Amino acid sequence: MKISLAKSSPLSQTNFTYGVATAAFQIEGAAESRRPCIWDKFCATPDKIKDSSNGLEACDHFNRWEQDLALIESLEVDAYRFSVSWPRVITHSGELDPKGVAFYVELLDALNQKNIKPYVTLYHWDLPQHLEDKGGWLNRETAYHFRDYVDLITQAFGDRVYSYSTLNEPFCSAYLGYELGIHAPGLKSKAFGKQAAHHLLLAHGLGMQVLAKNSPETLNGIVLNVSPCYPKTDSEKDKKAAWAADQNLNHWYAMPVLEGRYPESINTLPEEELPPIQQGDMAIICQPLDYLGLNYYTREVYEGVGHNDRQKWVDESLPFTEMGWEVYPLGLTDILLQLNNKYTLPPVYITENGAAMADSYAEGQVQDTDRIEYFQGHLQAVSDAAEQGVDIRGYFAWSLMDNFEWAEGYEKRFGIVYVDYDTQQRTIKASGLAYRDFISSRQLAKSA
């Protein structure tokens, strides 16, 4: 089975960037050579991770990065998006850790030698535990610690990086980590969610100011997760529920970053849930972006319940991934068009898109045709949005390889490369081969 788009599609042109993506805690392992992060403590807490696993070894990428880089090269991608582990490169006293820095410098140098553009995420959820002990993202000072970390690490990396993102999915860090408690650090309070979100956004703004000074030549931006929020019916109750969800998920982060203000739903919050905005904060948060990274996996459908509440509704007739997420490519086109109509967007990159499927390893192969269909549908959805005027410059498959899937542990496999966790053997899945062939056929079509 192949992945293909029309030759006239903007996504079929050689100046469109294709990549694969990972995150430090999910793949690196080698926990003994870094300081603990909030996910280490969360994993050690009973009943938080479904298979009771942790990230101490993960994919052992820290020790196998050269092998993994060869895999990335064999996939013929233009770019590799990965994150820096804050607790690996910064000591408790706030200084650079030479061994941690050296690991990333070596990786960056090797990527550049192979003409693979490094897209570096500066924060992908692994807050140093010693900062969480002081309040974590509930503490305004954490945003300034982030600024200092960004200052040091960008100086250390010099001109090796093609693109930086400050944060990956601050919605998940704040809402899942501090409001619902299903991600690290596992706190549960509506007030905490908005407090953490504000300090994360402040960290983004402070980080962007540092990037403008230290690394003005790189593409600098932020990565947000987005899902279109539809009402189940045309009833006012359902439409109100979908509107509230849309404000909370999509615009609570996009609007401050792009326009320097929170969405109007802020007026519906009780006083104790309001973000702790200080004078000048919104101007700091709203820095010029070279690009906006968007992660998309599924849509959300809502119905209104009770006096003023909402719940998700699921169409059981549609296909689902192993995460229980509906496969709905049209949602990606819709959210791109919605955002493009609402905001003056910088160039957009789809920084994550992919699916956990029930992969079966047999005779050295993984025939994941369902994942190939997922990529086909979603690449077409991106193409449709691009043809309707959204300035989209790149697409990153999530993920390069199977890895530690946060609260799901190792049971959910998102990779286009299969990982045998007993042996750490890697095997490119059929989807990885299809993705490679699609990328290389685009090159061949252009040069023919």
- Residues annotated as part of the active site: 169, 352
| Chain mean position to CA 424 | 24
Task: Estimate the crossing angle of helix 252-259 against helix 190-214, to 10 degrees.
Answer: 30
Distant-in-sequence, close-in-space partners of 267: CB < 8 Å, separation ≥ 6: none
Q: 406 among the known binding-site residues?
A: yes
> What are the phi and psi torsion angles at 263 (to 5°)?
-65, 165
| Chain mean position to CA 196 | 18
Q: 26 among the known binding-site residues?
A: yes
Distant-in-sequence, close-in-space partners of 371: CB < 8 Å, separation ≥ 6: 354, 355, 357, 359, 416, 429, 430, 431
Q: 405 among the known binding-site residues?
A: yes
DSSP assignment of 110-174: HHHHTT-EEEEES-SS--BHHHHTTTGGGSTHHHHHHHHHHHHHHHHHTT--SEEEEEE-HHIII
Q: 313 among the known binding-site residues?
A: no
> What are the phi and psi torsion angles at 27 (to 5°)?
-125, -25
Distance CA 13, CA 9 (A): 7
Distance CA 226, CA 362 (A): 35
Distance CA 379, CA 375 (A): 6
Token readout for 276 is 């702790």
Task: Note whether 262 and 256 are within 8 A (CB).
Answer: yes
Token readout for 291 is 């690009």
Q: 398 among the known binding-site residues?
A: yes
For residue 386, CA distances in Å to 215, 337, 373, 381 come to 29, 9, 20, 9
**377 in the Ramachandran plot: left (φ > 0), alpha (ψ -120 to 50) or beta?**
alpha
Q: Which residues are annotated as a binding site for substrate?
A: 26, 124, 168, 297, 398, 405-406
Q: Which residues are annotated as a binding site?
A: 26, 124, 168, 297, 398, 405-406
